[in-house]
Amino acid sequence: MDAIHIRGGNALFGETRIQGSKNAVLPVMAAALLIKDISIIENCPRISDVYHMQNLLTQIGCRVSRADRTLMIDARHVSQDKMSGESVTGMRSSIMLLGAMLGRFGEATLAYPGGCVIGKRPIDLHLNALRKMGVSIKEEEGAFTARAKQLCGAVITLPFASVGATENVILAAVNARGVTVLKNAAKEPEITALCRFLQKAGAVIEGVGGSVLIIQGGSALHGVQFAVPADRIVAGTYLFSVLGTGGHIFLKDAPVSQMKGMLKTAVEMGAEVTASREGLSVLAGPVKKTVPYIKTDVFPGFPTDMQSPLMAVLAKASGTSIIEETIFENRFRIVEELVKMGADIKTDENRAVITGVTKLYGCEVTARELRGGAGLVIAGCMAEGETIVRNRHFIERGYEDICRDYQNLGVNIVTG
Ligand code: UD1
């Protein structure tokens, strides 16, 4: 129950399609709240974080319906009731509704958000940026209320290019009075997706894709049809899997232009990659080269979400590699589990030193967060014998059907 069983040790061969992006669809769903009309969101992944966001939107009166991977959000008749319960506390992206609720109602009460257990994950950057737009914040135990009589455009410089804070400022700014200039904005492709969605709905945003965004508030927004881009992190997960096992796979619809940081690393480790309009072909031999030193970074650097999958592969590379985690603390929770499988990994604060071993051995391991869970599935594909990864629900937050995808690539893998 709540587990994944993998019989590892074989090379990967085959083709799988890459689902829509989790980190892109969630802010886009929040943005639909700003539009007093019907938004149609295509290529929406069937993952638990999306279902939670559907619940949150339903709680405030949106009518949300789904046909296969197309989501219809009707936000014409919403109300400002307090949102509470599991949906808010269970998912960090509920914080994404803060900017959208302020934009729609001028007020929002939210519980402090949950999400992956990878460090403290404060929201000070979100709150400080919104204060500059005229928002006052009242904190209570475990919750806070944000209020603005009139949201006003402002010049805001983020001390760190936080993805979530950038998204919240954008969401608040499109309905604010006047112009917002956001400096040191995050440049992740998911921010671009959010801006494109809002532009399609009538918002005026300049500088999309760059670190300075200029948002003209107050445009009338109308219903929109939008396709969510493919998930670069899911594509990266399978890219690193084939590096781990060797083989030849095709990742249909992989968003290659968003994957430069990870492709560079994969090629250094010995992968041959060929990009086309249809997707990404990856060929990898049985031997993996090490990465002498790599640090996670904001886009277009090596993504923190790919750190655990990379670590799993390096556990069997020929030599010693060093990973430095610069985005989140406490993102080495996979180490203990990989060591159980025979890996040689030592950590010192935000650095991990990985000395490659010749074999990993299947055993029972426990996922403690989403991407760490994916890393353990990769390790299971690389290991001899059976690996059981417990806490499948963490993985289901971001992967539509990880077993189906790996089965397409020839892996002996089932839920159980
Ligand atoms: C988003 C992604 C997540 C990804 C991360 C970094 C979503 C749903 N999640 O998370 O998958 O790993 O970007 O690419 O899109 N910070 C503060 N104060 C704040 C906000 C952030 O100190 O107010 C810190 C965080 O604790 C963390 C760092 O800034 O150490 C990065 O956080 P941020 O870029 O905001 O990531 P998220 O939006 O939470």
What are the tens digits of pLDDT across the range 277-326? Answer: 999 999 999 889 999 999 999 999 999 999 999 999 999 999 999 999 99
Question: Residue 226: CA atoms inside 13 Å, Cβ hemisphere, count?
Answer: 28
pLDDT-based confidence at residue 143 (cuts at 50, 70, 90): confident
Residues 77 and 199 placed together within one structural domain of the fold = yes
* pLDDT above 80 for 83: no
Residue 85 pLDDT exceeds 70 = no
Asked if residue 111 has pLDDT above 80, the reply is: no
Among 160, 211, 258, 399, which residue has the most ligand 1 atoms within 8 Å of its CB, making it the best to mutate? 160
Residues whose CB is less than 8 angstroms from the CB of residue 283 and which lie 6 or more positions away in sequence, other chains included: 247, 248, 271, 272, 273, 274
**Boundary residue ending a domain (227, 254, 271):** 227
Catalytic residue of the set 62, 116, 152, 195? 116
* Residue 157 pLDDT greater than 80, yes or no: yes
If one compares 248 and 142, the residue with the highest pLDDT of the two is: 248
Looking at residue 180, its pLDDT comes to: 98
Residues 252 and 196 in one domain: no
| Contacts of 311 by beta carbon, 8 Å cutoff, 6+ apart | 323, 332, 334, 335, 338, 345, 352, 354, 375
Q: Which has the higher per-residue pLDDT, 143 or 6?
A: 6
User: Does residue 118 surpass a pLDDT of 70?
Assistant: no
pLDDT at residue 92, as a whole number:
60
Q: Which atom of ligand 1 is nearest to the CA of 162?
A: 34
303 and 218 share one domain: no
Q: What is the mean pLDDT of residues 336-357?
A: 97
The angle subtended at Cα 161 by Cα 113 and Cα 45, nearest 5°, is 55
Write down the pLDDT at residue 331: 84
Do residues 143 and 202 share a domain?
Answer: yes
Residue at token pair 């309905």? 175
Other beta carbons within 10 Å of 239:
27
- pLDDT tens-digit profile of 252-271? 999 999 999 999 999 999 99
Instruction: Give the binding-site residues of ligand 1, using a 6 Å CB cut-off.
Output: 23, 26, 92-93, 119-126, 160, 162-165, 186, 188, 190, 304-305, 327-328
Q: How far apart are CA 50 and CA 222, in angstroms?
A: 22
Instruction: Note whether 297 and 185 are same-domain residues.
Output: no
Q: What is the pLDDT of residues 53-75, one digit of tens each?
A: 998 899 889 999 999 999 999 99
Does residue 207 share a domain with residue 244?
no
Residue 119 has pLDDT above 80, yes or no: no
Last residue of a domain, one of 201, 227, 253: 227
Domain carrying residue 55:
22-227
Q: What is the bridge-based pairing of β-strands 143-147 and 107-111? A: antiparallel
Please tell me the predicted confidence (pLDDT) of residue 399. 98
Q: Of the candidates 227, 257, 273, which is a domain's last residue?
A: 227
Q: What is the pLDDT of residue 116?
A: 52
For 15, half-sphere exposure in the C-beta direction (CA atoms, 13 angstrom radius) is 8
Find the angle CA(278)-CA(282)-CA(285) to the nearest 5 degrees.
165
Question: What does the pLDDT read at residue 91?
Answer: 54
Asked if 247 and 186 sit in the same domain, the reply is no
- Amino acid identity, residue 110? L
What is the per-residue pLDDT for 59? Answer: 86
In this structure, the residue with its CA closest to atom 9 of ligand 1 is 23
Task: Please tell me whether residues 204 and 334 are part of one structural domain.
Answer: no
Q: What is the mean pLDDT of the chain?
A: 94
- Give the model's pLDDT for residue 139: 82
Residues 8 and 38 in one domain: no
* CATH, residue 334: 3.65.10.10
Q: Which of 117, 163, 234, 299 to mutate to test the pocket of ligand 1 (most atoms within 8 A of CB)?
A: 163
Tell me what pLDDT residue 114 has: 57
Residues 118, 214 share a domain? yes
What is the side-by-side strand order in the sheet with 3-7?
A: 364-366, 386-390, 3-7, 412-415
Active site residue 195: no
What radius of gyration, in Å, describes the C-alpha atoms of the chain?
Answer: 21
What is the CA(12)–ligand 1 centre distance, in A?
A: 32
Each residue of 161-177: pLDDT tens digit?
Answer: 999 999 999 999 999 99
Residues 201 and 236 in one domain: no
pLDDT at 82: 53
pTM of the entire structure?
Answer: 0.96
pLDDT of residue 299: 97
215-248: pLDDT as tens digits: 999 999 999 999 999 999 999 999 999 999 999 9
**In the chain, how many domains are there?**
2
Q: Are residues 315 and 215 in the same domain?
A: no
